[in-house]
Amino acid sequence: MPPPLMVQFRAGDAGPWRIERMLPVTGAALPAATHLAILEGTAPPPPGAAAWSLRGSTGNLRYTHRSEADSLAARQAGLGRPAARCAALIPIRKNAAWWSLAQDERRAILEEESQHIAIGMEYLPAISRRLHHSRELGEPFDFITWFEYAPEHAAAFDEMLRRLRAKPEWGFVEREVDLRLRRLD
């Protein structure tokens, strides 16, 4: 488990990822932009003004049990695979009811009722993923998840999202934006 990494997702008219579409799933969309740059740590921003910028930090496991973590580690692939030229950026905010739940209640909804970890596991290693926590940074979203996959896995990625969004956990989502991107280089 590496130390927390601060990551800035910066949308504008420059960056190595082209934004192909943006769908406001729940609540307000983000301002329109054509490109995205991902700045890790203290990396300098690309030239040009930002249309918007979202920050999040990687961190420790919040819900995953040891047996699940070991299964994930055995199957998952990292970011930056040459074949993974498609990406999705999905910022989510959950409602006050979710955040008022105790730890055991949130875990039960996330996994025992909604199979969040188990469903994601079915799509490994095709879909790689990095989760960023934003809630305690004062950001407009609670989480930002970044996904990478090869073009031939785009349909599987959509299926995974449909399954997750149909579960009880998603009843607590009060804002969600779904951006799809393609690597330019």
Peptide bond between residue 125 and the one before it cis (omega within 30 degrees of 0): yes
Closest approach of Cβ 56 to its own copies, in Å?
9
CB atoms near residue 90 (< 10 Å): 19
Q: Any contact of residue 168 with its own copies (CB under 8 A)? A: no
Q: How far is the CB of 24 from its own copies (least distance, A)?
A: 22
Nearer to its own copies, 34 or 57 (CB): 57
Indicate the SS3 state at residue 99: helix
Tell me which DSSP letter residue 153 carries.
G
Q: How many residues bind its own copies (CB under 8 A)?
A: 29
Q: Which is nearer to its own copies, 99 or 184 (CB)?
A: 99
Instruction: Work out how close the CB of 96 gets to its own copies at its nearest, in angstroms, rounded to a whole number.
Output: 7
Where in 133-152 is the site for its own copies (CB under 8 A)? 133, 135-138
CB of 88 closer than 8 Å to CB of 147:
yes
Of 44-52, 104-112, 119-127, 167-175, which segment contacts its own copies by CB under 8 A? 104-112
Contacts of 168 (CB under 8 A, 6+ apart): 109, 113, 114
Residue 185, interface with its own copies (CB under 8 A)?
no
Residue 115 binding its own copies, by CB under 8 A: no
- 76: tokens are 């998952």
- CB burial class (10 A; 0-12, 13-18, 19+) of residue 41? exposed
Q: Which residue shows structure tokens 């800035």?
A: 8
Q: Is 88 helix (H, G, I), strand (E, B) or coil?
A: strand
State which of positions 16-75 bind its own copies (CB under 8 A).
Answer: 57, 59-66, 68-69
Distance of closest approach, residue 142 Cβ to its own copies, in angstroms = 10
Evaluate whether 17 touches 181 at the Cβ level (below 8 Å). yes
The residues binding its own copies (CB under 8 A) are: 1, 3-4, 6, 57, 59-66, 68-69, 96, 99-105, 107, 133, 135-138
